[in-house]
Structure 1
Amino acid sequence: MDWISIALLLLFGLLFLIAEVLFIPGTTVVGLAGFALLAAGIWFGYRDLGSTAGHVTLVTSLVLAGVILYLGLRPKNMAKLALTDVNDGHVRDARLPDVQPGATGRALSALRPSGTVLFDEHRREVVTRGEFVPTGAEVRVLRIEQNRIVVEAVS
């Protein structure tokens, strides 16, 4: 094997190692392939080019692999690639309703048995216990069941 083939084995081994450390960490398949290519390049360097060239390929590969691992795994560099933003958004929790039992409102639609009621300036979807309530009637909140507001007509 000539020196160009050995150099290409070493180059691709280092590129696979860079890909493992920086772009697709945690897969280990790419990293293992990179180390296998490096090992094959070093072995062919000793076998075909002699011990002096083998030592040069070994030391060069170890130094470059060490530099890649050091630079790639530094916390400062990982912070550039990692997602560090925290999502502080939230939605209105139905378990903590803004309409409490006993509150009164006006039916914006006929409740048959579900519909829309206006509590102060808040529109909410509500249900009755089965009775029909006409549009515009005043209703009172009986209870809150998980994500449902149960109402009854006020007589």
Structure 2
Amino acid sequence: MLLLFGLLFLAAEVVFIPGTTIVGLIGFALLAAGVWFAYRDFGSATGHILLVSSLAVTGLMIYIGLKPKNMARVALTDVNNSHVRDARLPDVQPGTTGRTLSALRPAGTVLFEENRREVTTRGEFVPAGTEVRVLRIEQNRIVVESVA
């Protein structure tokens, strides 16, 4: 039984949950205990047979489990081709005008053509619906002022 469970744990490590190591170590310990008990209780002839057969079955499981075709079934092969707009490369340039969607106290949301952007003022409050102009881009902040 120890040999059977040891092989099952090793199979689970190689095929189903590769990389966990704990399950593989438990399987190896069960195999080693099973072989040791076989030598102790059944003699060296039976111990040799079980040792060689355990090594052969374990080697075969590892060979089959680590084949690229079999690994492709359980490996993550999806490729993420999406992208994120880089805030360091602003699409809103200084001098661009837009209309506030929320009150700027001193930060809020402005609509530039079709683009909603979070902006800030130099400290003044600007009511919603006011036209604003971009003064400068500071790192990842868009600084605006009221056009009025």
Same fold (TM over 0.5): yes
2:101 maps to 1:95: no
Partner of 1:106: 99
Q: TM-score, normalised by structure 1?
A: 0.78
Partner of 2:117: 124
Cα distance in structure 2, aligned partners of 1:43 and 1:132: 81
Cα distance in structure 2, aligned partners of 1:49 and 1:110: 85
Cα deviation code 1:59-94 (max 9, x no counterpart): 221211111111112222222212122222223322
Partner of 1:46: 39
Matched positions, count:
148
Q: TM-score, normalised by structure 2?
A: 0.81
Q: Which amino acid aligns with 1:32?
A: L
Cα deviation code 1:12-66 (max 9, x no counterpart): 1111211222233333333233222222222322332234323321222121111
Cα distance in structure 2, aligned partners of 1:109 and 1:48: 82
Given the alignment, which residue of 3, 8, 24 partners 2:17? Answer: 24
Moved more, 93-102 or 119-128: 119-128
2:147 maps to 1:147: no
Q: Which amino acid aligns with 1:122?
A: N
Given the alignment, which residue of 65, 71, 85 partners 2:58? Answer: 65
Cα deviation code 1:105-153 (max 9, x no counterpart): 2334443433333322323332221233445443211111233211122
Partner of 1:79: 72
Cα distance in structure 2, aligned partners of 1:96 and 1:10: 61
Secondary structure in 1 aligned to 2:145? strand
Secondary structure in 2 aligned to 1:106? strand
Partner of 1:3: none
Q: Which amino acid aligns with 1:13?
A: G
Rg larger for: 1
Cα distance in structure 1, aligned partners of 2:47 and 2:128: 90
2:6 maps to 1:13: yes
Distance 1:40 1:134, change over 3 A: closer
Unaligned runs of 5+ in 2: none
Cα distance in structure 2, aligned partners of 1:43 and 1:115: 72
